Amino acid sequence: MAIYPRVDLERAGLMPMTSMFFFGPNDRKDVDDFRPSVHDSDGLAVFNGRGEELWRPLHNPKDLQISSFADLNPRGFGLMQRQKDFFAYQDLESSFERRPSLWAEPIGDWGEGSVKLVEIPTKEEVHDNIASFWQPKSALQAKGEHTYTYRLHWGPDTPKPTALARFSRTGIGARGDNATLFVLDLIGDRLKSVDPKTLRGVVTAEKAKIQNIVTQPNPNSGGWRLSFELLKEKNPVEIRASLMQENELASEVWVYRWTP
């Protein structure tokens, strides 16, 4: 792709993609529906230039939310539909479990910028309320030539498998009057043979208190479950969570913006 701007483009969006997220196990407040989940994608996956693999579950916010994942020379990102079980949706017409994922793979070094995630409030599933794209840090200058090479992959998953365990489900609910409970399920071959004594959950939050971090095997899925409580705040909170095997990452990094 070659771009020849007529004016300076301060906020160009490259490799753009859209999807729909109406509700799911992490976001069912004020939902009156017979189905457990309704979405075309359940999360944004990012492989950044630092070697991190991020997973950001989507949600349907009350107000417009824009998230930014700063990076240098990204390896890829995509709006993914990980949940492939019909019983997670119970929709005979829409077949959300068959919706494809879309992965964008930059070729070469793209420099500094950020993966942007836009989440738009919606009261109906007919609207594409999710958007994601790469935004270069520097403006695309007018009367210049700006060339980019990339591949788009449509399919059930990322084109390159990873050895890290991944988050398969994010459940969120109230715990009493002053805390929110997060229940995160993980799956992956790496977890099947690991010594349970070497695994631990790590959860951090900006300007908020996390308590009761519990990590345990999930015999029903063959994976693990990480749960914790967030004491309620009046402002949005950015949270990160992962599984560590001794001093090494055993899972991708779960990132989430909790909004009151």
Quick check: is 161 in a domain? Answer: no
- Clarify whether residues 125 and 243 are in a common domain: no
Task: Give the structural domain span for 225.
Answer: 166-255
Quick check: is 196 in a domain? Answer: yes
- Clarify whether residues 36 and 132 are in a common domain: yes
Examine the pLDDT at 193 and tell me if it is beyond 80: no
The CATH number that applies at residue 43 is 2.70.98.10
Quick check: is 160 in a domain? Answer: no
DSSP 40: S
- Clarify whether residues 111 and 51 are in a common domain: yes
DSSP 145: -
- Clarify whether residues 176 and 131 are in a common domain: no
- Clarify whether residues 135 and 225 are in a common domain: no
- Clarify whether residues 119 and 205 are in a common domain: no
37-64 burial code (b ≥16 CB/10 A, e <16): bbbbbbbbbbbbeeebbbbbbbbbbeee
The CATH number that applies at residue 204 is 2.60.40.10
Rounded mean pLDDT of the chain? 94
Please write the tens of the pLDDT for every residue from 166-187: 999 999 998 888 999 999 999 9
Final residue belonging to a domain, choices 136, 155, 174? 155
Final residue belonging to a domain, choices 121, 155, 189? 155
Half-sphere exposure of 168 (CA within 13 A, CB side): 16
DSSP 163: S
Examine the pLDDT at 234 and tell me if it is beyond 90: no
36-40, 70-74, 191-195, 210-214: lowest mean pLDDT where? 191-195
Residue type, 137: K
**CA–CA separation, 150 and 152 (whole Å):** 7
Please write the tens of the pLDDT for every residue from 39-86: 999 999 999 999 999 999 999 999 999 999 999 999 999 999 999 999
Confidence of residue 2 (pLDDT cuts 50, 70, 90): very high
- Clarify whether residues 133 and 194 are in a common domain: no
Reported pTM = 0.94
Identify whether the C-beta of residue 88 lies closer than 8 Å to the C-beta of residue 65.
Answer: no
- Clarify whether residues 127 and 188 are in a common domain: no
Share of the chain above pLDDT 90, in %: 84
Quick check: is 260 in a domain? Answer: no
Q: Is the dihedral of CA 81, 253, 122, 228 positive or negative?
A: positive
The torsion region of residue 247 among left (phi > 0), alpha (psi -120 to 50) and beta comes to alpha
Quick check: is 193 in a domain? Answer: yes
Give the mean model confidence (pLDDT) for residues 114-120: 98
Identify whether the C-beta of residue 202 lies closer than 8 Å to the C-beta of residue 219.
Answer: no
- Clarify whether residues 116 and 67 are in a common domain: yes
Q: What is residue 12's predicted lDDT score, i.e. its pLDDT?
A: 95
- Please tell me the total count of domains within the chain: 2
Give the mean model confidence (pLDDT) for residues 110-114: 96
- Clarify whether residues 179 and 62 are in a common domain: no
Query: Coil, helix or strand for 87?
Result: helix
Q: Are strands 253-258 and 237-245 parallel, antiparallel or unpaired?
A: antiparallel
Residue type, 16: P
Give the mean model confidence (pLDDT) for residues 217-240: 92
Q: What is residue 176's predicted lDDT score, i.e. its pLDDT?
A: 83
DSSP 102: E
Quick check: is 10 in a domain? Answer: yes
Quick check: is 54 in a domain? Answer: yes
- Clarify whether residues 188 and 150 are in a common domain: no
- Clarify whether residues 112 and 36 are in a common domain: yes
Q: Which residues pair with 181 in a beta bridge?
A: 173, 229
Give the mean model confidence (pLDDT) for residues 94-103: 97
Among 168, 213, 217, 214, smallest CA distance to 194 is for 217
Quick check: is 200 in a domain? Answer: yes
Final residue belonging to a domain, choices 155, 181, 200? 155
